[in-house]
Amino acid sequence: MRIPVLTVLLLVGATAAPLAADDARADAKKQVEFGITVAQRGLWREAIYRWQRATQIDPKYAEALNNLAIAYEHEGDLEKARVAYAKALELAPNNALIKQNYELFKEINDRTTRKDSQDNPDTQ
């Protein structure tokens, strides 16, 4: 299921990391930036790969998880999107952009679920 209009904010992650993690964060940030570039060109599978790599390099990179959630959502993998958003919010509970994206995701997903239930009374 593809979402026709996906209004989301891809994050680059401008916060400074501790000095010990600078190299890992720099490598992860390169993956995130490249993921944004390819997503803007419609290459969502490549973007997913890049953002997965970023989270492997730096598992605490909330912005990379947010972008990964957006890509999963775009590709219709809503359960993976939900998990990635939850992890991103766990890592950065005060990040307003991640919160906004997750709220939009929930709103669209809940609306779609309600519509599907109304269209298919046998599933209720």
> Residue 46's domain is classified under what CATH number?
1.25.40.10
Degrees, nearest 5: CA angle 55-26-100: 55
Provide the residue range defining the domain that includes 26: 21-118
The pLDDT value recorded for residue 89 is: 97
Is pLDDT of 17 > 60? no
> Which two tokens mark 19?
């000095």
pLDDT > 90 fraction of the chain, expressed in percent and rounded: 67
pLDDT tens digit sequence for 50-84: 999 999 999 999 999 999 999 999 999 999 999 99
Query: What number of H helices and E strands is found in the chain?
Result: 5, 0
Prediction pTM value: 0.76
Is pLDDT of 6 > 60? no
In a domain, 10, yes or no: no
Q: How confident is the model at residue 11 (pLDDT cuts 50, 70, 90)?
A: low
The pLDDT value recorded for residue 76 is: 93
Burial class from Cβ neighbours inside 10 Å (0-12, 13-18, 19+) for residue 27 reads middle
pLDDT tens digit sequence for 82-122: 999 999 999 999 999 999 999 999 998 877 766 666 666 66
Q: Give the number of domains in the chain.
A: 1
Measured CA distances, 113 to 6, 70, 80, 120, 124 (Å): 17, 18, 16, 10, 11
In a domain, 5, yes or no: no
